[in-house]
Amino acid sequence: MMGLVSYLVFFTTIASILAIAVLGLNLQWGNTGLFNGGVVAFFGAGAYGTLLLGGTPQADHIGGFDLFYPLALIGGAAAAGVLAWVVGRLTLHLRHDYLAIATFGVAVTFENVMRNAQGLSGGAKGLRGFTRPLEAWVNDGFSYNVLFLTVVVALLICTYWFLERLICSPYGRQLRAIREDEIAARSLGKNPGAIRLTAFITGSCILGLAGGLYATFYAFVSPQDVLPTLTFQLWAMLIVGGAGNNRGAIFGTFLIWGAWTASGWSLARFAPVEVQLYTGTMQFILIGLVIVGMLMWRPQGLLPERLVVSQSGTKKLN
Amino acid sequence: MIQSLTDGILVGAIVSLGAIGLTMVMHMLRFANFSHAELLSIGAYSALVFDALFSGILPSLANNIGPLSMTWALILSMLCAMAVTGLSAVLINEFVFKRIREKGSELSMVFASFGVAMIIRNVLGLIFGLKSQLYSNDIVFAVLVSSEPQLLIKPDQVFVLLAALLIMLVLHFVLSRTTFGYTLRAVAENPSLAEVTGIRLSRVIAIVWIISGLLAAAAGVFYGLNNHINPVIGRDLVLPIFAATIVGGIGSVFGAVLGGFIVGIAANMALLVLPSGYSPAVPFLIILVLLLVRPHGLFGEAET
Amino acid sequence: MAETLLRVTNIVAGYVKDLPILKQVSIEVKEASLTLIIGPNGAGKSTFIKAIAGVVPVTSGKITLTGHDITGIRPDQMSQHSIAYVPQSDNIFRTLSVRQNLELVLRKDRAAPDRIDTLFMRFPILKTKQAEKAGTLSGGQRQMLAVSMALAVKPMLILMDEPSAGLSPKAAQEVLQLARDLTTEGVTILLVEQNVNQAMRLSDHCYILAEGRNQHDADAAVLLNDPIVGEIYLGGKRVPAE
């Protein structure tokens, strides 16, 4: 029984962290219509950033500033934001298919650099030397995990609340206007370029926050954590859940992550030994089929975008 | 340095063949097809299967042609693989991309192409295994063409270059001298006018997919011949092929050819200064520079 | 009395299904006639031609050609019904040469070289420039090429959308006169024009559209002096919408 509860805590923690990431992606794609093919680079920037800022000094690479944890986490998110600023300035004005290729290239390059730049990131063996915050104070492993889960869920709720407020605000209206018809928006005096950039950066900071939490949980990050396949998984979560809908984003995350771990578990349990090597392969085929199937059947997702009423139509009689 | 240049040209020929098909599809259907590079894998593996088949049926076909590790069986297999890949390309469009286009937006097709790429790559891995394979287990020695500066070339590499150039020449002839070629060019320039003059767009689209499949299969077999065959050929070549397309300008076949060679040479020359681990990032840097400096590439149309 | 070649009955059409531009328009085009469609901007004249050509989807109504129903055909099926369409702009392939444009249209015709020679006899300037890229031609020359592309397939009916647009008065007159000459050869022409006076002088029958509806029609000779034309253009007179 304890094992099951323990596993559920673990599952919910990871799912919540990924949900935060998907919320960030939803801001970029669902609300603003920006195609970010390199999601994992911003997630990774947050992960590496947090560990470098918050970790203890290591012999073979920079970092180890041993910062107070919340600062390290914010620093990670900020690193993602800075990367987003650079990438955004360079690419956001591109046509959508060029943008897809460019952002995909960013992700490939990010993983490539992290894998090779030993002095920066520890190279292929990854970053260690990080102690999880408050771990010394809470002796029991299970209690610590519950504490961590609580913090993560709290952050998820805050992020959700923040984004929901954002959508209903005038800024949210601007995002939708730009997404629907940029030329019209421009003619109204809005500066689409600047607005898109801020949406891109904000979404990326949220991605970085998720990355930081992820790295914190494992107290480790390596290039294996920032492969293009993670981009693919996060996109699947958003597409299935419903782009443009924050609840859809969270729902999709839990659903896909659940399916992923369930398929991995059942393959490990029931499949013959020779096939075990191909567990990952089969999972990717399944997730590919889910994405393609979803796009063919119900591209708006399971929870489609709701019409946002930012101002109630009832007027007071004068 | 001349070794890098030569290697670059040889790799470039393969990238060019892959890029031609992609530039045609991207121009016509306006979507970045991330699954295009997987067609090379399909071609490479199909040829592997046919090669085993033909060599089994008629062992004399399996003899090497001269100094190459290429055999008649493999040539036949390549032709069959081209047919299979062309068919796959058109079927994928018919059953997946076309339906998604009707239901959603162009960007849905881009996601879908990620999904299709994942599926193809992993299905190939499931069927053929994850390890690298080769068409022939013979060890082929590189020929020392010159010792100062050192230049080593394998006969297979020369064959690949010549074969690739031949294919491109044939395609050029078709595009510039036949009415069928005019049809393709007309559709590329102005699809609605083409329709008005009696051209059935759905047929032309299918033909373009087939051609892109044919060329990709050849590229895949050439890559397998010079390197090895494994399920991640597509993953490794997707960025260089996109880079070549962007350098040349989307929609320009000639641009794709030139772009392929430029990307091949640049990627190899970069190895002279960068540690080899960084080579996957070079095509991306090329893309980035191009998009900043001249977004429509060398021969593409300036788009708003 | 000439036969009716093309009969359009109450078509409702538009680019987007719920936003029709044409609201029940009907016309009849007699064989070997030059029928003109005029009207103020936004009347839907271009859309009307495109609806017949199959370029714009038809929501309801009927279009028949010599009794055959051709409502909602695909544009590439026009040539099967012996219809040709000359769009207002972008009506030639700029990156192909003059000759290649014609060879493209005649790709299924075994006698293509002869046909092209015949067309060159009518338009000698195209013969001179046959190897040049069509994009290098002047406006009037491009229009000639566009019309010869339409003529190449020996159509029964040619749909022309503002053929004189952007041309010098002399070139405009030449194009319209060409349309007139074609009708004496038995070709039926349905013409949309902004150049009202020049076109009306050469036409047989004329329909006036405004706001996506029929407003008036009569023989061109009659309408030439009828003030109703001006009134419709200036918005004074309108057929009430049902």
Q: What is the pLDDT of residue A24?
A: 94
Average pLDDT over residues B46-50: 92
Residue of A nearest to B130 (CA): A278
pLDDT tens for each residue of A165-200: 988 888 888 888 877 776 676 677 667 788 889 999
Average pLDDT over residues A25-42: 88
Closest by Cα among C190, C170, C174, C90 to C135: C90
CA distance A58 to A120: 11
User: Is pLDDT above 90 for A210?
Assistant: yes
Average pLDDT over residues A218-230: 85
CB pair distance less than 8 Å for C76 and B201: yes
Dihedral angle of Cα A84, A85, A90, A96, to the nearest 10 degrees: 50
- Asked if residues B45 and B217 have their Cβ atoms less than 8 Å apart, the reply is no
Query: Is residue A292 domain-resident?
Result: no
Chains linked to A by 3 or more Cβ pairs within 8 Å: B
Whether A and C touch, i.e. at least 3 CB pairs below 8 A, reads as no
Higher pLDDT among residues A62 and C90, named by residue: C90
Q: What is the pLDDT of residue A318?
A: 42
Average pLDDT over residues C151-180: 90
Backbone angles phi, psi at C8, to 5 degrees: -110, 125
**CB-neighbour burial class of residue B169 (10 A; exposed 0-12, middle 13-18, buried 19+):** exposed
Average pLDDT over residues A15-20: 94
Whether B and A touch, i.e. at least 3 CB pairs below 8 A, reads as yes
- Asked if residues C160 and C191 have their Cβ atoms less than 8 Å apart, the reply is yes
Kind and range of the H or E run holding A286: helix A279-297
Average pLDDT over residues A32-44: 89
User: Is pLDDT above 80 for B137?
Assistant: no
Residue of B nearest to A113 (CA): B278
**CB-neighbour burial class of residue A178 (10 A; exposed 0-12, middle 13-18, buried 19+):** buried
Closest by Cα among C92, C236, C72 to C163: C92
User: Is pLDDT above 70 for A143?
Assistant: yes
Average pLDDT over residues C165-173: 85
Average pLDDT over residues B203-225: 93
Average pLDDT over residues C143-163: 92
CB pair distance less than 8 Å for B278 and A113: yes
Average pLDDT over residues B140-158: 78
Q: What is the pLDDT of residue A16?
A: 94
CA distance B157 to B86: 24
CA distance A174 to A195: 8
Residue of C nearest to B200 (CA): C76
CB pair distance less than 8 Å for B189 and C94: yes
C227 is written with which tokens? 């003030």
Q: Over the Cα atoms of chain C, what is R_g?
A: 18
Q: What is the pLDDT of residue A307?
A: 67
User: Is pLDDT above 50 for C140?
Assistant: yes
Return mean pLDDT, chain B: 87
Q: What is the pLDDT of residue A275?
A: 77
Higher pLDDT among residues B145 and A310, named by residue: B145
Dihedral angle of Cα A179, A182, A188, A194, to the nearest 10 degrees: 80
Chain B residues interacting with chain A (CB cutoff of 8 angstroms): 26, 30-32, 34, 96, 99-100, 103-104, 106-108, 110-112, 114-119, 121-123, 125-126, 130, 239, 242, 246, 275, 277-278, 280-281, 283-285, 287-288, 291-292, 295, 303
Domain interval for residue A172: 2-225
User: Is pLDDT above 90 for B23?
Assistant: yes
* Annotated domain spans of chain B: 12-230
Backbone angles phi, psi at A239, to 5 degrees: -65, -45
CB pair distance less than 8 Å for B196 and C93: no
Query: Is residue A266 domain-resident?
Result: no
CA distances from B279 to A181, B6, B79, B268, C232 (A): 39, 17, 32, 8, 70
Domains and CATH numbers, chain C: 4-92+142-234 (3.40.50.300), 93-136 (no CATH)
Work out the minimum CA distance from B248 to partner chain A, whole angstroms: 14
pLDDT tens for each residue of B80-90: 999 999 999 99
CA distance C44 to C211: 7
Provide the domain count of chain A.
1
User: Is pLDDT above 70 for B153?
Assistant: yes
- Report residue A243 CA to chain centroid gap: 14
pLDDT tens for each residue of C214-242: 888 888 888 888 888 777 777 666 776 65
Average pLDDT over residues C197-217: 88
Q: How confident is the model at residue A310 (pLDDT cuts 50, 70, 90)?
A: low
Q: What is the pLDDT of residue A100?
A: 83
Q: Which amino acid is at A151?
A: V
Average pLDDT over residues C96-107: 92
Q: What is the pLDDT of residue C239?
A: 72
User: Is pLDDT above 50 for B304?
Assistant: no
Average pLDDT over residues C75-94: 92
Average pLDDT over residues A39-49: 92
Q: What is the pLDDT of residue A59?
A: 65
CA distance B299 to B301: 7
User: Is pLDDT above 70 for A1?
Assistant: no
Of A81-90, A172-181, A233-242, C95-104, the poorest mean pLDDT is in: A172-181
Residues of A in contact with B125 (CB under 8 A): 278, 281
Of A63-72, C10-19, C76-85, the poorest mean pLDDT is in: A63-72
Of A39-48, A94-103, B202-211, C167-176, the poorest mean pLDDT is in: A94-103
